[in-house]
Amino acid sequence: MGLRIAIDTGGTFTDCVWVEQGRVKLHKRFSTPGDAGAAILAALAEIGGGGGLGAGAEIRHGTTVATNALLERAGARVAFVTTAGFEDTIAIGRQARPHLYRWANETPPPLAPEEMRFGIEERTLPDGTIAKGVNSASLNELFRAVHARQPDAVAVSLLFSFANPKNEKLVARALEELGVPVSASHQILPEFREYERGATVLINAYLAPKMGRYLLRLQSSVQQAYPGAGLHVMQSSGGIVSALTAAREPVRTILSGPAGGVVGAHRVAQLAGYNRILTFDMGGTSTDVALVDGMAGGHLQTTNESQVMGLPVSVPMLDIHTVGAGGGSLANFDGGGALRVGPQSAGAVPGPICYGRGQLPTVTDANLVLGRLDPEGFLGGQLTLDLERTRAIFAKTKGRLASPEVFADGIVRLAEATMEKALRQISVERGFDPREFTLVSFGGAGPLHACALAAGLEIPRVLVPRMPGALSAIGILISDMVKDYSRTVMIPTAAEGAARVLAGLGRQMRELEQLGRREMPGLKPRAIRSLDVRYAGQGFELNVPASTDFAARFHRLHQRRYGYADEKRSLEVVTARVRMVAASAPLAYERRKARPGKAAQALVKRRRVWFGGKPLAAAIYDRERLRAGDQLRGPAVITEYSATTVVPPGWRARVDSWLNLVLEEARHEN
């Protein structure tokens, strides 16, 4: 059998993990922003060496191509086609004010400007009845109008096509003659809410040409170099799909890499015995945080209410919050002399100052100046960090601050304030007490800052897994093959009628499951059914398992989320959902017997490290030499190939049976 290799492309590094002879191996390369596939192909060549990857190798990819295309507004020229009279729905949006007291709410320009919006005379009623069909004359007229605008892709979202897609199928089929990708809402998102459905399909069309070219070219290159190899892609929902599916539905890959990190963190925390976790993934460009409440069923929760660049994305996505604070985040002084950090990033090119090419201070440079990074031991010694050059540039750019160390300390504090705010948003602001959770820290830069964030939010412990810099890739490696299906149903119900509702939905659920099995050939997926439920008259829903007690589950969840529940009020089942899951081969984690130790065998040296504005003598440890049961006290720095962990004064670290680092402030220790 060939290797199964997971590759996570980040803003600075491309991480590769695979299992060879029962051991997980890791390889890192600098990313190639101009052509993300170049770093992947180079990494595969280095992994395979002279022997190749083996017959039937499987390449799993977490990609940022869709994310970057949205953030940079570098997608396709899209024609948006809808029912006549509703062409401007995509621009009008919802009349909600995200900032109540701001006079003018700035919104990004629509992905389809006015001249690229087209209507066709047709009408489907809410119950699926075709009140007005599509005739050949209107199709020909639409074709000529769209063709004249020379779009790169087309998005089709007709009124109530989720109830009956007949008209939409005819329109999509006619526009396929243009020879460009056509995204139809009955395939991408057969659900109600015209604006959200239209926006999601529009984003899919906006990304399809670029993502399609990238994935198909990468797949071709992989298969030419390694005959029989397959390429799969990580979805934002935490599951794997084929490259062809991802190329056709790129809207499902917007949080591809970060989703792998949440999957990996959840698995590691489960093994270590922690069910309630906050994930903290800090890479070179951004920081991604998420909350996983294992007490609420143990499954990773997805949301259909995400927003990207001010646009709704209503396909299932793990509930991940992203902020522009990473190791490569740039620091500067604004016009008023205040220090700012991010969201702009140095990326892989030119990168931080200490990598040799950058000219502007970054968070990574600040950690080096503070002594928290080892200049000779970075990436296992493969990259020597230029401390002298970094200090010289910091001295020139520090403004009126007293020293490079004070400048560096300010940069780190500001970055940590941004990340602490992100953690607060997903916990405190949603009714969760962070003191009841464990912070799982990973990413190349995460363990440098984890203890400071935990202290700020009074989180009792930090868990740093093995190979933290590659946990997103590990999550991609262990993720299951997943396909999500949905159908809006709008069924009123009362608690005593739950069984009748489920029986009535049985046929539609089975149809979705049959569709999933057809689209996952050669696999044996299991079906997970769920329902979007709301109180009658509400404008939002909560997702609960499709069980006979779904009403009671809804009331409990509503109480937790919003602080109240009304068990006498009628309910409405809005959308039926089916998730088809085909399990991947599990990754065997080796558990060691813990024996008390003081980590003396892992002590490398001692050096000055700055904490709280002053230098302290800190112990430097090599994580590869730590054994299960070892304990050590801060101030200390623990180095390894993929990351560096900082243990501040007043904190202790121990190595558990799974070789995770568990860090606790002295006052929180059991």
Give the helix ranges, DSSP H, for 484-619: 498-518, 550-562
Token couple for 550 = 């779904």
| Residue whose pair of structure tokens reads 């919104």 in the numeric block | 107
Give whole-number Cα distances, 189 to 196, 291, 515, 518, in Å: 9, 26, 14, 18
Rounded Cα–Cα distance for residues 113 and 218 (Å): 31
Cβ atoms < 10 Å from Cβ of 534: 17
Residue 311 lies in a domain: no
Per the omega criterion (within 30 degrees of 0), is the bond before 635 cis? yes
Per the omega criterion (within 30 degrees of 0), is the bond before 447 cis? no
Pair (116, 35) in one structural domain: no
What total number of domains does the chain contain?
Answer: 4
Which of these three, 582, 610, 639, is where a domain ends? Answer: 582
Pair (65, 78) in one structural domain: no
Pair (89, 170) in one structural domain: yes
Rounded Cα–Cα distance for residues 256 and 253 (Å): 5
Rounded Cα–Cα distance for residues 469 and 383 (Å): 15
Pair (203, 234) in one structural domain: no
Q: Is 276 exposed, middle or buried (0-12, 13-18, 19+ CB in 10 A)?
A: middle
Rounded Cα–Cα distance for residues 386 and 541 (Å): 53
Residue 103 lies in a domain: yes
Pair (96, 217) in one structural domain: no
Pair (136, 232) in one structural domain: no
Q: Which of 352, 332, 351 is nearest to 341 (CA)?
A: 332
Pair (198, 231) in one structural domain: no
Q: Which of 530, 617, 525 is nearest to 578 (CA)?
A: 530
Give whole-number Cα distances, 283 to 30, 233, 345, 347, in Å: 13, 20, 11, 10
pLDDT in tens, 129-149: 999 999 999 999 999 999 999
Rounded Cα–Cα distance for residues 92 and 148 (Å): 25
Q: Which of 109, 39, 74, 318 is nearest to 211 (CA)?
A: 74
pLDDT in tens, 539-550: 889 999 999 889
Rounded Cα–Cα distance for residues 165 and 190 (Å): 9
pTM: 0.89
Q: Which domain holds residue 147?
A: 73-209
Which of these three, 178, 209, 240, is where a domain ends? Answer: 209
Pair (78, 177) in one structural domain: yes
At 542 the pLDDT is: 92
Torsions phi, psi of 397, nearest 5?
-105, 5
At 153 the pLDDT is: 97
CATH for 159: 3.40.50
| Residue whose pair of structure tokens reads 């659900």 in the numeric block | 191
Pair (118, 198) in one structural domain: yes
| Residue whose pair of structure tokens reads 């074709």 in the numeric block | 143
CATH for 50: 3.30.420.40
Strand-pair category, 287-293 with 302-303: unpaired
Residue 183 lies in a domain: yes
Rounded Cα–Cα distance for residues 491 and 387 (Å): 65
Pair (245, 181) in one structural domain: no
CATH for 556: 3.30.1490
pLDDT < 70 positions in the chain: 1, 50, 295-299, 495-496, 667-670
Torsions phi, psi of 620, nearest 5?
-110, 125
Residue 105 lies in a domain: yes
Q: Which of 533, 524, 527 is nearest to 579 (CA)?
A: 527
Which of these three, 181, 209, 237, is where a domain ends? Answer: 209
Rounded Cα–Cα distance for residues 200 and 193 (Å): 11
**CB–CB of 30/305 below 8 Å?**
no
Token couple for 138 = 């209107």
Instruction: Write the DSSP symbol of residue 6.
Output: E
| Residue 403: strand, helix, or coil | coil
The packing angle between helices 550-562 and 498-518, to 10°, is 90
Give whole-number Cα distances, 65 to 18, 237, 432, in Å: 22, 17, 33
| Residue whose pair of structure tokens reads 């003396």 in the numeric block | 600
Pair (216, 205) in one structural domain: no
Pair (42, 119) in one structural domain: no
Q: Which of 571, 651, 663 is nearest to 626 (CA)?
A: 663
Dihedral, CA atoms, 322, 326, 329, 332, nearest 10 degrees? 90
Token couple for 334 = 């604004």
Instruction: Write the DSSP symbol of residue 589.
Output: P
Q: Is 338 exposed, middle or buried (0-12, 13-18, 19+ CB in 10 A)?
A: exposed
Token couple for 288 = 């991604």
**In 391-541, at which residue ranges do the beta strands (DSSP E only) sit?**
438-442, 461-464, 481-493, 526-535
